[in-house]
Structure 1
């Protein structure tokens, strides 16, 4: 049942014209940043070649672009998650799903996996663009894979957060703005925290992404993302179960 709901959500996301417009705009912006970064790298490549430990193309181009991709996904994911539950409430189709014999766990996991599949395709398209670095230079494959993993985990975290707010609100716009506001707030926490504020950095998903962005795959960061996603999905399931009991 989870896979059935996931396939349905994936098809519905791709059936919406707005999805294609957002994907086209995102790929255009990412390609524009990519070409601009390549141009900047080529301009200083001669000077960097004279250094003993000159940064390669992966550090100079791929890693910064993955940070840009993470920021773009932070703004894009709420536009997708607001449709998962909040829009069904507005269209009055949510009652049919809520009163069906499908469990809340299956509903939440199915919708989450459907959106996650779309996000994987988005990241894969951007990763394919970054892979063109292999055609003209020696790229650090390990660093590139660590960045892609970090972007996927960060996108999944935003998806779980957006799904939770989509379950809380009846209006899609409120759901999207709430998700974006909290995501941006967590991003600001990491940006404004000092080196001594280890707790503030620990609660921000972006700080854990930064470790992967530098090529450091730490078990603590992987555990954080797993707990962050699992907690938000559990809260969403619990809220839907409470809503189902109140409706019965």
Structure 2
């Protein structure tokens, strides 16, 4: 039943004009940024070769592309997740899900997997841009895989936060704005303090755990952080639906 609900979400997403607009806009922006990074690399390539430890194509172009994608998708994901539960509640179709032979966990996982599939499609389309460089150069596949995995975990975290915020309201706009606010806050937490308090804030910063992936460094602690974050918000979403069902 989880996959049936996930397929329902995927089908609904791709039948929506918003999904295609988002795909088009994201690809247009990322394509423009990608070409800018390639042009920048070509303009400084001769200087890079004269360095004792030359910076490669992967460091300048691939890492920059994945970094840009994270910022753009931080803005976009709230628009995708805002309708997951809030629209169901507004249209009074959420009670139909409550009456179906589904647990709240199955409902949340089904919706989450549906939105995650869409975001992975976006991720694969973004990843094709750096891979196109293989036609005229070489890439550090270790660094590429690290950046790809980091962005996948980051998007999965964005989706989990957005899903939770969507369970709190019946207004998709409020869900989108609150999701964006929470993601932006968690993105810049590492700039918010010094000393012990600054270290605590930095630990909860999404950017702080994403940067090592962009540098080609895989740290299991960073991966575990994202997994725990995703799990926490999925559990909170389930508890919210449980409370809503019992209260209704």
Structure 1 unaligned regions, length at least 5: none
1:31 partnered with 2:31: yes
Partner of 2:136: 136
CA contact (8 A) 2:78 2:175 kept: yes
Could you list the structure 1 runs, at least 4 aligned residues long, displaced by more than 6 angstroms after superposition: none
CA contact (8 A) 1:6 1:114 kept: yes
Partner of 1:207: 208
Give the secondary structure class of the aligned counterpart of 1:215. Answer: coil
Deviation at 1:172, TM superposition (A): 0.2
Structure 2 unaligned regions, length at least 5: none
| Distance (Å, rounded) in 2 between the aligned partners of 1:54 and 1:97 | 57
Where in structure 2 are the equivalents of 1:8-47 lying within 5 Å?
8-47=8-47
* Residues 86-124 of structure 1: per-residue CA shift (max 9 Å, x gap): 111122211211222211000000000001011111000
* Residues 122-143 of structure 1: per-residue CA shift (max 9 Å, x gap): 0000101110122211211000
Q: TM-score with structure 1 length normalisation?
A: 0.96
Moved more, 54-63 or 84-93: 84-93
CA contact (8 A) 1:99 1:244 kept: no
Where in structure 2 are the equivalents of 1:98-137 lying within 5 Å?
98-137=98-137
CA contact (8 A) 2:190 2:199 kept: no
Q: TM-score with structure 2 length normalisation?
A: 0.96
Root-mean-square deviation (CA, aligned residues, Å) is 1.2
Partner of 2:243: 242
Number of equivalent positions: 247
CA contact (8 A) 2:86 2:166 kept: yes
CA contact (8 A) 2:10 2:115 kept: yes
